[in-house]
Structure 1
């Protein structure tokens, strides 16, 4: 018999982005976040920060790159290896950090289907920046797994982890911080339960962090935010 929503277990998820939060990067992290099961990182943070979180909490961490702190992106995306010098210990660090790069990829953790699309709107031809068409082409690599998820689990996706926000949801009008219209189309078609992003800094405590777009909760993870996510199979 299927479990009711009241009986379905929930996973505590810590989301981080853009800024090293002193509440996270703290000696008290184990006490403050002892009930966290998963960490999602929406970009513009150093991998050493992820390593600290993973080693402190001993939980999985999934991340995408943003448009800053890209020194290590060549370790995960071969097209950037001509831009940065290749660190021969890159993959050792990747495993020792315990962090899983999900840019253009899909993973399943504790029954949660997670995909990542990092980067920002192109504004100065820098690395990990995309036009709308470029982001669409980047996302195409997810399509086979999305279709498989639909056949296997009855749904395409639970969480889309991005760096930039969707267009007209939490974004700004300057070229750097403009969101992707394509993300709205993605939500229309694949209906993830959550879209977690960063990129837009929230300096005002009253600034809007969460917006409901049709069936998707869009959440800005700047600094950190805690979510309770129902586990599904």
Structure 2
């Protein structure tokens, strides 16, 4: 069992204080987007745990960066990575950390010209890449995905009717193909109203804004 702290979209002010150590028992931190990068760095440093994230539609554009033996480059030129130091960007990737296999897909539906926004067709293409990576990993070692970490929810599964907060239809297909026990997402602010968990088949869909602590079976 892996104990996971999951955050998204809204800064929890208490976590800037010594109260963060109430979560010293977690094994991993996951972030589902739209949080200040210095906040994420603080959580990782204070708790001394690995942090994996996907970008939200209000985050900086992190595409096009490569890390080879600790050196960040963009278009072959050494640069400073604008993302949170020490964190792992899981967007459009499948990674293994703290005993869990995590597939990531960041961003929201496109509603203006901001970064990390995708049309349904674009996100479906990115989702197919995640499917291929997960299939290759499973072929190699027999393990499936434990957590699908996204910024936006699936369409008609915890999203909102206004254009910026509509979910992605392609996430239904991705869930069907990966069969993860958990899909964790942000983007939809509770505004004081409980956001119940939902299900897509056997996958539990959890809105993690602003914070959830979950126990995930390996």
The reply to whether TM is greater than 0.5 is: yes
Q: Establish whether residue 13 from structure 1 lines up as the match of residue 4 from structure 2.
A: yes
Question: 1:213 Cα shift?
Answer: 1.8
Q: 1:74 to 1:137 in 2, by over 3 A?
A: closer
Alignment partner of 1:57 out of 37, 43, 47: 47
Structure 1 residue matching 2:123: 3-state secondary structure: helix
CA contact (8 A) 1:149 1:157 kept: no
Question: 1:87 Cα shift?
Answer: 9.3
Q: Establish whether residue 73 from structure 1 lines up as the match of residue 52 from structure 2.
A: no
Structure 2 residue matching 1:15: 3-state secondary structure: strand
Q: 1:75 to 1:144 in 2, by over 3 A?
A: closer
CA contact (8 A) 2:59 2:116 kept: no
Q: Establish whether residue 102 from structure 1 lines up as the match of residue 90 from structure 2.
A: yes
Partner of 1:199: 187
Alignment partner of 1:114 out of 93, 102, 115: 102
Question: 1:193 Cα shift?
Answer: 1.0
CA contact (8 A) 2:32 2:149 kept: yes
Structure 2 residue matching 1:141: 3-state secondary structure: helix
CA contact (8 A) 1:42 1:197 kept: yes
Question: 1:104 Cα shift?
Answer: 0.8
- 2-side partners of 1:151 and 1:88: how far apart? 35
Q: Establish whether residue 218 from structure 1 lines up as the match of residue 208 from structure 2.
A: no
Q: How many pairs does the alignment contain? A: 210
Instruction: Provide structure 2 residue ranges, at least 5 long, that are not aligned to the other structure.
Output: 67-73
Q: 1:153 to 1:132 in 2, by over 3 A?
A: same
- The C-alpha deviation readout for 1:192-223, integer Å capped at 9, x for no partner, is 1111110000122x422411221111111111
Alignment of 1:106-145 (within 5 A): 106-145=94-133
CA contact (8 A) 2:131 2:174 kept: no
- The C-alpha deviation readout for 1:18-59, integer Å capped at 9, x for no partner, is 0111232222212x1011100110000121111100110010
Structure 1 residue matching 2:126: 3-state secondary structure: helix
- 2-side partners of 1:176 and 1:87: how far apart? 35
Instruction: Provide structure 1 residue ranges, at least 5 long, that are not aligned to the other structure.
Output: 1-9
Question: 1:73 Cα shift?
Answer: 2.4
TM (normalized to structure 2)? Answer: 0.88
The CA RMSD over aligned residues, in Å, is 2.2
Structure 1 residue matching 2:44: 3-state secondary structure: helix
CA contact (8 A) 1:104 1:141 kept: yes
TM (normalized to structure 1)? Answer: 0.83
Partner of 2:81: 90
Structure 1 residue matching 2:104: 3-state secondary structure: strand
Question: 1:144 Cα shift?
Answer: 3.3
- 1-side partners of 2:176 and 2:109: how far apart? 20
